[in-house]
Amino acid sequence: MKGFGAIAPNNVGWMEKDRPVCGPMDAIIRPLAVAPCSSDTHASHGGSGPLDHVILGHEAVGEVVEVGNLVKNFKPGDVVVVPCCTPDWTEKNMQQRGANNAHDAGLMKSFKLLGSWDGVFAEFFKINQADANLVLKPENVSIESALMTVDMMSTGFYGVEMADVQFGETVVVFGIGPVGLMAVAGTALRGAGRIFATGSRPNCVELAKEYGATDIINYKNGDVVEQILALNGGQVDRVIIAGGDCSTMTQALCLVKPNGTIASINFYDATDSFAYPAYLWGLGMSDVTIKGGFCPGGAYRIEKLLNLIANKRIDPSKLLNYKFEGFEKIEDAFKVMDEKPRDLIKPIVYINWD
Protein backbone atom coordinates (compact mmCIF):
# COMPACT_ATOMS: atom_id res chain seq x y z
CA MET A 1 0.00 0.00 0.00
CA LYS A 2 0.99 3.65 -0.37
CA GLY A 3 1.91 5.92 2.51
CA PHE A 4 3.46 9.31 3.07
CA GLY A 5 6.13 9.89 5.68
CA ALA A 6 9.77 10.23 6.61
CA ILE A 7 12.15 8.44 4.29
CA ALA A 8 15.15 9.79 6.15
CA PRO A 9 15.75 12.85 8.33
CA ASN A 10 14.62 15.99 6.45
CA ASN A 11 13.42 13.87 3.57
CA VAL A 12 9.71 13.17 3.33
CA GLY A 13 7.82 11.49 0.54
CA TRP A 14 5.61 8.64 -0.60
CA MET A 15 6.58 5.07 0.06
CA GLU A 16 5.25 1.59 -0.57
CA LYS A 17 4.78 -0.66 2.46
CA ASP A 18 2.88 -3.80 3.37
CA ARG A 19 -0.65 -3.37 4.59
CA PRO A 20 -0.64 -3.80 8.37
CA VAL A 21 -1.67 -7.18 9.73
CA CYS A 22 -4.73 -7.26 11.99
CA GLY A 23 -4.10 -8.84 15.40
CA PRO A 24 -6.94 -10.37 17.42
CA MET A 25 -7.83 -7.12 19.24
CA ASP A 26 -6.88 -4.75 16.43
CA ALA A 27 -8.79 -2.91 13.75
CA ILE A 28 -7.54 -1.99 10.31
CA ILE A 29 -8.86 1.39 9.19
CA ARG A 30 -8.74 3.45 6.05
CA PRO A 31 -8.68 7.19 6.58
CA LEU A 32 -11.61 9.41 5.56
CA ALA A 33 -10.07 12.62 6.82
CA VAL A 34 -6.64 13.31 8.24
CA ALA A 35 -4.78 16.33 9.57
CA PRO A 36 -1.03 16.86 9.60
CA CYS A 37 0.32 18.04 12.94
CA SER A 38 3.45 19.93 13.90
CA SER A 39 4.55 16.73 15.69
CA ASP A 40 4.69 15.10 12.26
CA THR A 41 6.81 17.83 10.74
CA HIS A 42 8.93 18.05 13.88
CA ALA A 43 9.55 14.30 13.69
CA SER A 44 10.36 14.51 9.99
CA HIS A 45 13.23 16.81 10.86
CA GLY A 46 14.57 14.36 13.43
CA GLY A 47 13.22 16.28 16.43
CA SER A 48 12.56 13.12 18.37
CA GLY A 49 15.24 10.92 16.82
CA PRO A 50 16.03 9.69 13.32
CA LEU A 51 13.24 8.08 11.29
CA ASP A 52 13.73 5.64 8.44
CA HIS A 53 10.84 4.88 6.10
CA VAL A 54 8.15 5.62 8.63
CA ILE A 55 4.64 6.61 7.56
CA LEU A 56 3.60 9.70 9.52
CA GLY A 57 0.21 11.04 10.63
CA HIS A 58 -1.77 10.47 13.83
CA GLU A 59 -4.96 12.50 13.41
CA ALA A 60 -7.69 10.65 11.56
CA VAL A 61 -11.32 9.81 11.18
CA GLY A 62 -11.66 6.62 9.24
CA GLU A 63 -13.65 3.61 8.17
CA VAL A 64 -13.07 0.21 9.74
CA VAL A 65 -12.17 -2.37 7.09
CA GLU A 66 -11.17 -5.32 9.25
CA VAL A 67 -11.33 -6.30 12.92
CA GLY A 68 -9.62 -8.99 14.96
CA ASN A 69 -11.58 -11.94 16.28
CA LEU A 70 -11.62 -10.58 19.84
CA VAL A 71 -13.11 -7.22 18.86
CA LYS A 72 -16.67 -6.92 20.10
CA ASN A 73 -17.87 -3.40 19.40
CA PHE A 74 -16.76 -2.60 15.86
CA LYS A 75 -17.25 -4.09 12.41
CA PRO A 76 -16.16 -3.23 8.88
CA GLY A 77 -18.00 -0.18 7.59
CA ASP A 78 -18.09 1.63 10.92
CA VAL A 79 -16.94 5.23 10.72
CA VAL A 80 -14.69 5.85 13.71
CA VAL A 81 -12.88 8.67 15.45
CA VAL A 82 -9.30 7.59 16.20
CA PRO A 83 -7.47 8.96 19.27
CA CYS A 84 -3.89 9.91 18.43
CA CYS A 85 -2.81 8.09 21.58
CA THR A 86 -3.92 4.46 21.80
CA PRO A 87 -2.67 2.80 24.97
CA ASP A 88 -2.24 -0.87 25.61
CA TRP A 89 -4.70 -0.92 28.50
CA THR A 90 -3.36 -4.19 29.88
CA GLU A 91 0.03 -2.67 30.75
CA LYS A 92 0.47 -2.53 34.52
CA ASN A 93 1.56 1.13 34.57
CA MET A 94 -1.94 1.97 33.36
CA GLN A 95 -3.30 0.87 36.73
CA GLN A 96 -1.66 3.67 38.70
CA ARG A 97 -4.47 5.84 40.03
CA GLY A 98 -4.62 9.24 38.42
CA ALA A 99 -1.73 8.64 36.06
CA ASN A 100 -1.87 9.87 32.50
CA ASN A 101 -2.44 6.84 30.27
CA ALA A 102 0.03 8.15 27.65
CA HIS A 103 2.90 6.12 29.11
CA ASP A 104 1.75 2.50 28.97
CA ALA A 105 5.04 0.59 28.93
CA GLY A 106 7.12 3.71 29.41
CA LEU A 107 7.55 7.32 28.33
CA MET A 108 5.02 8.09 25.54
CA LYS A 109 4.78 4.43 24.64
CA SER A 110 1.02 4.78 24.16
CA PHE A 111 1.69 6.97 21.11
CA LYS A 112 1.65 3.93 18.85
CA LEU A 113 0.98 5.85 15.63
CA LEU A 114 4.28 7.67 15.95
CA GLY A 115 6.68 5.30 17.57
CA SER A 116 5.34 1.77 17.49
CA TRP A 117 4.13 1.42 13.90
CA ASP A 118 3.09 3.35 10.84
CA GLY A 119 0.75 6.31 10.99
CA VAL A 120 -2.46 7.36 9.29
CA PHE A 121 -1.08 8.96 6.09
CA ALA A 122 -1.60 5.58 4.43
CA GLU A 123 -4.18 3.62 2.60
CA PHE A 124 -4.65 1.57 5.73
CA PHE A 125 -3.49 1.83 9.31
CA LYS A 126 -3.73 -0.32 12.40
CA ILE A 127 -5.22 0.48 15.80
CA ASN A 128 -4.56 -1.73 18.82
CA GLN A 129 -7.31 -2.73 21.28
CA ALA A 130 -10.02 -1.37 19.06
CA ASP A 131 -12.78 -1.73 21.65
CA ALA A 132 -10.90 0.49 24.06
CA ASN A 133 -9.43 2.92 21.58
CA LEU A 134 -12.01 3.66 18.91
CA VAL A 135 -15.19 5.70 19.02
CA LEU A 136 -18.07 5.47 16.60
CA LYS A 137 -18.49 8.92 15.01
CA PRO A 138 -21.75 10.39 16.32
CA GLU A 139 -24.23 11.43 13.65
CA ASN A 140 -24.53 14.94 15.05
CA VAL A 141 -20.81 15.71 15.03
CA SER A 142 -19.20 16.78 11.77
CA ILE A 143 -16.17 14.94 10.45
CA GLU A 144 -14.13 18.14 10.84
CA SER A 145 -15.01 18.60 14.50
CA ALA A 146 -14.53 14.91 15.20
CA LEU A 147 -11.07 15.08 13.63
CA MET A 148 -10.13 17.99 15.85
CA THR A 149 -10.86 16.03 19.05
CA VAL A 150 -8.20 13.37 18.57
CA ASP A 151 -5.15 15.53 19.29
CA MET A 152 -5.77 19.30 19.13
CA MET A 153 -8.68 19.38 21.55
CA SER A 154 -7.48 16.48 23.69
CA THR A 155 -4.03 18.04 24.09
CA GLY A 156 -5.25 21.59 24.60
CA PHE A 157 -7.81 20.49 27.16
CA TYR A 158 -5.20 18.39 28.93
CA GLY A 159 -3.30 21.61 29.55
CA VAL A 160 -6.40 22.99 31.23
CA GLU A 161 -6.83 19.85 33.31
CA MET A 162 -3.20 19.85 34.44
CA ALA A 163 -3.41 23.55 35.24
CA ASP A 164 -6.43 22.69 37.41
CA VAL A 165 -8.24 25.89 36.43
CA GLN A 166 -10.86 26.98 38.97
CA PHE A 167 -13.90 29.24 38.58
CA GLY A 168 -13.02 32.87 37.99
CA GLU A 169 -9.26 32.47 37.93
CA THR A 170 -6.88 34.43 35.72
CA VAL A 171 -4.94 32.29 33.26
CA VAL A 172 -2.17 32.91 30.74
CA VAL A 173 -1.97 30.68 27.66
CA PHE A 174 1.34 30.84 25.80
CA GLY A 175 0.81 30.20 22.12
CA ILE A 176 -2.28 30.33 19.92
CA GLY A 177 -1.48 27.73 17.33
CA PRO A 178 -4.21 25.10 17.05
CA VAL A 179 -3.33 23.42 20.37
CA GLY A 180 -3.03 26.77 22.13
CA LEU A 181 -6.39 27.82 20.71
CA MET A 182 -7.95 24.67 22.14
CA ALA A 183 -6.25 25.44 25.46
CA VAL A 184 -7.87 28.88 25.35
CA ALA A 185 -11.26 27.38 24.54
CA GLY A 186 -10.87 24.76 27.27
CA THR A 187 -9.82 27.37 29.81
CA ALA A 188 -12.94 29.40 29.09
CA LEU A 189 -15.10 26.28 29.08
CA ARG A 190 -13.69 25.28 32.48
CA GLY A 191 -14.82 28.54 34.05
CA ALA A 192 -11.80 30.84 34.06
CA GLY A 193 -12.31 34.60 34.34
CA ARG A 194 -9.68 36.62 32.55
CA ILE A 195 -7.60 34.81 29.92
CA PHE A 196 -4.40 36.25 28.47
CA ALA A 197 -3.18 34.60 25.28
CA THR A 198 0.09 35.37 23.53
CA GLY A 199 0.35 35.55 19.76
CA SER A 200 0.45 37.76 16.73
CA ARG A 201 -1.00 35.99 13.69
CA PRO A 202 -4.26 37.76 12.80
CA ASN A 203 -6.27 34.60 12.06
CA CYS A 204 -5.23 33.02 15.32
CA VAL A 205 -5.79 36.20 17.29
CA GLU A 206 -9.32 36.48 15.99
CA LEU A 207 -10.08 32.87 16.82
CA ALA A 208 -8.48 33.15 20.28
CA LYS A 209 -10.92 35.94 21.09
CA GLU A 210 -13.82 33.93 19.73
CA TYR A 211 -12.79 30.96 21.90
CA GLY A 212 -12.71 33.13 25.02
CA ALA A 213 -9.41 35.01 25.36
CA THR A 214 -10.01 38.40 26.94
CA ASP A 215 -6.55 39.85 26.26
CA ILE A 216 -4.17 39.13 23.39
CA ILE A 217 -0.52 39.82 24.14
CA ASN A 218 1.68 40.48 21.13
CA TYR A 219 5.42 40.26 21.64
CA LYS A 220 5.85 43.07 19.13
CA ASN A 221 4.38 45.47 21.68
CA GLY A 222 7.06 44.78 24.27
CA ASP A 223 8.10 42.15 26.76
CA VAL A 224 5.30 39.65 27.14
CA VAL A 225 5.79 39.18 30.88
CA GLU A 226 5.83 42.90 31.57
CA GLN A 227 2.75 43.48 29.47
CA ILE A 228 0.75 40.86 31.35
CA LEU A 229 1.93 41.93 34.81
CA ALA A 230 1.02 45.52 34.00
CA LEU A 231 -2.41 44.73 32.56
CA ASN A 232 -3.24 42.31 35.34
CA GLY A 233 -1.78 44.36 38.15
CA GLY A 234 0.36 41.43 39.28
CA GLN A 235 0.83 37.72 38.86
CA VAL A 236 -1.78 35.24 37.64
CA ASP A 237 -3.24 32.00 39.00
CA ARG A 238 -2.26 29.57 36.24
CA VAL A 239 -0.09 29.43 33.14
CA ILE A 240 -0.53 26.99 30.27
CA ILE A 241 2.41 26.64 27.90
CA ALA A 242 1.27 25.65 24.42
CA GLY A 243 4.12 27.07 22.40
CA GLY A 244 7.60 28.50 22.60
CA ASP A 245 10.70 26.78 23.88
CA CYS A 246 12.43 26.07 27.19
CA SER A 247 12.79 29.79 27.87
CA THR A 248 9.00 30.06 27.96
CA MET A 249 9.11 28.17 31.27
CA THR A 250 11.20 31.02 32.66
CA GLN A 251 8.55 33.50 31.56
CA ALA A 252 5.85 31.34 33.11
CA LEU A 253 7.71 31.34 36.43
CA CYS A 254 7.76 35.14 36.34
CA LEU A 255 4.02 35.23 35.81
CA VAL A 256 2.54 32.78 38.26
CA LYS A 257 1.66 33.47 41.90
CA PRO A 258 2.83 31.45 44.88
CA ASN A 259 0.57 28.38 45.05
CA GLY A 260 -0.08 28.64 41.31
CA THR A 261 0.38 26.04 38.59
CA ILE A 262 2.28 25.93 35.32
CA ALA A 263 1.04 23.30 32.87
CA SER A 264 3.06 22.57 29.77
CA ILE A 265 1.72 20.78 26.71
CA ASN A 266 4.59 21.96 24.57
CA PHE A 267 6.99 19.60 22.83
CA TYR A 268 10.51 20.83 23.60
CA ASP A 269 13.37 20.21 21.25
CA ALA A 270 15.76 17.39 22.10
CA THR A 271 18.63 19.89 22.10
CA ASP A 272 16.90 22.49 24.27
CA SER A 273 17.49 22.96 28.02
CA PHE A 274 15.59 24.55 30.86
CA ALA A 275 17.59 27.18 32.71
CA TYR A 276 16.09 29.44 35.33
CA PRO A 277 17.41 31.06 38.47
CA ALA A 278 16.27 29.56 41.77
CA TYR A 279 14.77 32.86 42.93
CA LEU A 280 12.13 32.66 40.19
CA TRP A 281 10.88 29.53 41.94
CA GLY A 282 11.01 31.34 45.29
CA LEU A 283 14.31 29.61 46.14
CA GLY A 284 12.24 26.43 46.15
CA MET A 285 9.67 27.88 48.53
CA SER A 286 6.99 29.23 46.19
CA ASP A 287 4.64 26.24 46.06
CA VAL A 288 4.40 26.78 42.33
CA THR A 289 3.70 23.39 40.77
CA ILE A 290 5.16 22.57 37.37
CA LYS A 291 3.44 19.94 35.27
CA GLY A 292 3.95 18.79 31.73
CA GLY A 293 2.63 15.90 29.77
CA PHE A 294 1.49 14.24 26.60
CA CYS A 295 -1.99 13.97 25.14
CA PRO A 296 -3.96 11.27 27.00
CA GLY A 297 -5.58 8.62 24.85
CA GLY A 298 -8.40 6.16 24.65
CA ALA A 299 -12.04 6.06 23.65
CA TYR A 300 -13.57 7.36 26.88
CA ARG A 301 -11.83 10.72 26.67
CA ILE A 302 -12.69 11.24 23.01
CA GLU A 303 -16.32 10.36 23.71
CA LYS A 304 -16.44 13.06 26.35
CA LEU A 305 -14.94 15.59 23.96
CA LEU A 306 -17.44 14.59 21.28
CA ASN A 307 -20.21 15.12 23.87
CA LEU A 308 -19.07 18.73 24.19
CA ILE A 309 -19.42 19.22 20.46
CA ALA A 310 -22.74 17.36 20.20
CA ASN A 311 -24.12 19.56 22.97
CA LYS A 312 -22.85 22.71 21.23
CA ARG A 313 -20.41 23.74 23.95
CA ILE A 314 -17.59 24.21 21.43
CA ASP A 315 -16.91 24.10 17.71
CA PRO A 316 -13.32 23.02 17.12
CA SER A 317 -13.80 22.78 13.35
CA LYS A 318 -13.09 26.52 13.19
CA LEU A 319 -9.42 25.60 13.40
CA LEU A 320 -9.49 24.07 9.93
CA ASN A 321 -8.78 26.84 7.48
CA TYR A 322 -6.73 24.97 4.87
CA LYS A 323 -8.71 22.24 3.14
CA PHE A 324 -7.47 19.63 0.70
CA GLU A 325 -9.32 16.91 -1.22
CA GLY A 326 -7.84 13.55 -2.17
CA PHE A 327 -5.40 11.06 -0.70
CA GLU A 328 -2.50 12.39 -2.74
CA LYS A 329 -3.03 15.87 -1.27
CA ILE A 330 -1.57 14.67 2.02
CA GLU A 331 1.74 15.77 0.59
CA ASP A 332 0.56 19.34 0.02
CA ALA A 333 -1.07 19.52 3.42
CA PHE A 334 2.10 18.26 5.05
CA LYS A 335 4.16 20.91 3.28
CA VAL A 336 1.76 23.63 4.37
CA MET A 337 2.11 22.47 7.95
CA ASP A 338 5.89 22.36 7.59
CA GLU A 339 6.12 25.85 6.09
CA LYS A 340 3.42 27.39 8.26
CA PRO A 341 2.24 30.28 6.09
CA ARG A 342 1.19 33.20 8.25
CA ASP A 343 -2.54 32.63 7.74
CA LEU A 344 -2.48 28.89 8.49
CA ILE A 345 -4.23 27.55 11.54
CA LYS A 346 -4.72 23.85 10.75
CA PRO A 347 -5.08 21.89 7.50
CA ILE A 348 -7.41 18.98 6.76
CA VAL A 349 -7.30 16.44 3.95
CA TYR A 350 -10.57 14.79 2.91
CA ILE A 351 -10.06 11.37 1.41
CA ASN A 352 -12.83 10.11 -0.81
CA TRP A 353 -12.24 6.46 -1.60
CA ASP A 354 -15.06 6.03 -4.08
Q: Which of residues 58-97 bind a second copy (CB under 8 A)?
A: 70, 89-97
Q: Which of 269, 246, 322 is nearest to 45 (CA)?
A: 269
Q: Considering only residues 13, 50, 76, 99, which one is a binding residue for a second copy as defined by CB under 8 A?
A: 99
To a second copy, the closest distance from the beta carbon of 321 in angstroms equals 25
Residue 210 is a binding residue for a second copy (CB under 8 A): no
Q: Binding to a second copy by residue 298, rule CB under 8 A?
A: yes
The residue among 273 and 352 lying less far from a second copy, judged by its C-beta, is 273
Q: Considering the rule CB under 8 A, would residue 103 count as an interface residue with a second copy?
A: yes
- Tell me whether residue 295 is exposed, middle or buried, using C-beta atoms within 10 angstroms of its C-beta: 0 to 12, 13 to 18, 19 or more: buried
Angle at 242 between CA 252 and CA 269, to 5 degrees: 90
> Which one, 208 or 306, has the nearer CB to a second copy?
306
- State yes or no: residue 258 binds a second copy (CB under 8 A): yes
19 vs 42, which CB is nearer to a second copy?
A: 42
Q: Is 46 in the site for a second copy (CB under 8 A)?
A: no
Taking the CA atoms of 243, 245, 249 and 250 in sequence, report the sign of the dihedral they define. negative
- Tell whether residue 14 is a contact of a second copy (CB under 8 A): no
Vertex 345: Cα angle to 152 and 187 (nearest 5): 45
Interface stretch with a second copy, choices 4-12, 28-36, 275-283, 325-333 (CB under 8 A):
275-283
State the nearest-atom distance from the C-beta of 249 to a second copy, in Å: 9
- How many residues are listed for the chain in this entry? 354
The distance of closest approach from Cβ of residue 31 to a second copy in the complex, given in angstroms and rounded to an integer, is: 23
279 binds a second copy (CB under 8 A): yes
Side by side, the strands of the sheet bearing 195-198 are 215-217, 195-198, 171-174, 236-241, 256-264
Report if residue 242 touches a second copy, rule: CB under 8 A. Answer: no
Region 302-321 residues binding a second copy, contact defined as CB under 8 A: 303-308, 310-311, 313
The residue range among 30-38, 115-123, 216-224, 276-284 that interacts with a second copy, by the rule CB under 8 A, is: 276-284
Residues 160-189 that bind a second copy (CB under 8 A): 161, 166-170, 186, 188-189
DSSP secondary structure, 106-158, as one string: STTTT-GGGTTS--SSBS-EEESSHHHH-EEPPTTS-HHHHHHIIIIIHHHHH
Q: 224-232 and 246-255 are packed helices; what angle lies between their axes, rounded to 10 degrees? A: 20
